[in-house]
């Protein structure tokens, strides 16, 4: 049996996990694909560095082109990260007829269309399951499991760092700043956490999910992204009192071929299964016209969960090699992208207002909503002992995003509204 030879770009946490699984599960892998899978070359930054797994010195290289141009390597597994230089490596590998497995969400969100078209042109596979939600096989599920259905909504907790922070704030009443520092100390958050806490990481993942789910080339700039840095203990307290949890959700929706994709802190009804996803775990909720509601839950990061997804993609590539059907995956978008306008994006909203504490204020506020045809589901007014003003909590019925923006603009010029403290989308 001729072995399938793999070139591994990167030997960090995930790359180490790939080596562990490929070498430790060799019997299982051979039984599935009918050939040994051999890691032929590994790209490292420093060949002399001590490692947690034994690797032959002659298998390591500090030159990526030695792997890309290696005549016997069949599959490139990319776990090194980065965008511009990594894109060059992958495009060159595809040009040379090598199949690619990657965990690089940034690369696929920004250049996925170009890479997929190049792969198809050269009859190569490019699989990237590990780029979204770690060990959850969500991309394969969207492409294969829902191939006979029409997906109308994808809603997910796809960033473990922010979910950990919001979970601790909810369960322990801690402040955002304190929990962020704790997350950094534990290694869940980077020293510069901007990509996670401002929703950029989640936006990249939602770009990939929406593209696959809706078969349209959704670009990163099509995703409206807002992070969690402005979420307060007070917001979470009010949410819990009303029966909600605050989660950073990516939401992609399709209606009559019009789509919208966004990332924002969202109040989720506690009865919805996604509200109970806590800590660093991820979950993706998918609604199909035929199947209805489904949800996929699991570890969103980590050495072995992510490596498991990578090796599963590697097995899929090898099976395709055996069958002679590489380059025929259905990830290339074939539908025209039609984005919803703000007038067409609709949801419920939660608003927390700091207002003058006197008669007639509530009537003036509700009139503003009426002026823009926003109906209200509930209104709660209560004094706040820590301030001289009262606070009003409003939850609307479904309202379009443009109307809510007009309401907020009107509040800026309304003398009885001292401050709009919080605005959240409401789900469930």
Distances (CA, A) of 206 to 235, 262, 357: 25, 8, 42
Q: Give catalytic residue positions.
A: 205
Which pLDDT score is estimated for 214? Answer: 96
How far is it, in rounded angstroms, from Cα 210 to Cα 334? 13
CATH superfamily placement of domain 138-299: Dihydrodipicolinate Reductase; domain 2 (3.30.360.10)
Question: What residue spans define the domains of the chain?
Answer: 4-134+303-323, 138-299, 346-427
Q: How many CA atoms lie within 13 A of 41 on its CB side?
A: 19
Average pLDDT over residues 128-149: 93
Closest CA to 365 of 325, 320, 419: 419
pLDDT at 330 over 80: no
Longest dimension (CA), the chain: 85
Task: Say how many residues make up the chain.
Answer: 428
Average pLDDT over residues 273-279: 96
Q: What is the pLDDT of residues 365-394, one digit of tens each?
A: 999 999 999 999 999 987 767 777 899 999
Q: What is the pLDDT of residues 178-235, one digit of tens each?
A: 999 999 998 888 999 999 999 999 999 999 999 999 999 999 999 999 999 999 999 9
Which pLDDT score is estimated for 357? Answer: 87
Which pLDDT score is estimated for 323? Answer: 92
CATH topology of domain 4-134+303-323: Rossmann fold (3.40.50)
pLDDT at 331 over 70: no
Residue with tokens 């949800």: 295
Architecture of the CATH domain 346-427:
2-Layer Sandwich (3.30)
Average pLDDT over residues 401-413: 97
Which pLDDT score is estimated for 389? Answer: 84
The answer, as to whether pTM is greater than 0.85, is yes
């Amino acid at each position: 049996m001729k072995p399938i030879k793999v070139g591994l770009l990167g030997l960090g946490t995930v790359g180490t996990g790939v080596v562990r699984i490929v070498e430790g599960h060799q019997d299982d892998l051979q039984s599935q694909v009918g050939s040994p899978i051999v890691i032929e070359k590994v790209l490292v930054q420093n060949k002399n560095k001590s490692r947690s797994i034994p690797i032959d010195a002659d298998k390591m290289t500090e030159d990526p082109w030695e792997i890309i141009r290696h005549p016997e390597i069949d599959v490139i597994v990319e776990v090194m990260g980065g965008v511009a230089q990594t894109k060059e490596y992958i495009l060159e590998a595809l040009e040379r007829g090598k199949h690619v497995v990657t965990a690089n969400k940034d690369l696929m969100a920004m250049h996925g269309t170009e890479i997929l078209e190049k792969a198809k042109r050269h009859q190569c596979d490019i699989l990237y399951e590990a780029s979204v939600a770690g060990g959850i096989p969500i991309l394969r599920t969207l492409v294969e499991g829902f191939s006979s259905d029409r997906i109308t909504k994808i809603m997910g907790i796809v960033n473990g760092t922010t979910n950990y922070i919001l979970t601790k704030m909810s369960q322990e009443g801690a402040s955002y700043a304190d929990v962020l520092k704790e997350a950094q100390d534990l290694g869940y958050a980077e020293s510069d956490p901007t990509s996670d806490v401002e929703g950029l990481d989640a936006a990249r993942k939602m770009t990939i999910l929406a593209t696959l789910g809706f078969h349209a080339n959704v670009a990163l700039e099509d995703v409206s992204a807002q992070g969690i840095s402005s979420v307060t203990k007070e917001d979470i307290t009010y949410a819990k009192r009303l029966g909600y949890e605050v989660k950073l959700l990516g939401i992609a929706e399709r209606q009559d071929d019009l789509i919208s994709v966004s990332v924002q802190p969202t109040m989720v009804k506690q009865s919805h299964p996604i509200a109970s996803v806590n800590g660093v775990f991820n979950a993706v909720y998918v609604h199909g016209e035929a199947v209805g509601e489904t949800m996929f839950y699991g570890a969103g990061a980590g050495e072995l969960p992510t490596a498991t997804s990578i090796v599963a993609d590697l097995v899929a590539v090898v099976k395709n090699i055996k069958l002679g059907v590489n380059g025929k995956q259905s990830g290339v978008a074939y539908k025209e992208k039609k984005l919803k306008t703000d007038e067409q994006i609709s949801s419920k909203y939660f608003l927390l207002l700091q207002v003058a504490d006197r008669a007639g204020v509530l009537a003036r506020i509700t009139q503003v909503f009426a002026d823009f045809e926003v109906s209200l589901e509930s209104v709660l007014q209560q004094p706040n002992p820590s301030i001289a003003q009262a606070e009003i909590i409003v939850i609307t019925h479904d309202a379009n995003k443009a109307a809510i923006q007009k309401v907020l603009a009107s509040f800026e010029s309304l003398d009885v509204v001292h401050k709009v403290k919080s605005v959240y989308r409401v789900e469930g």
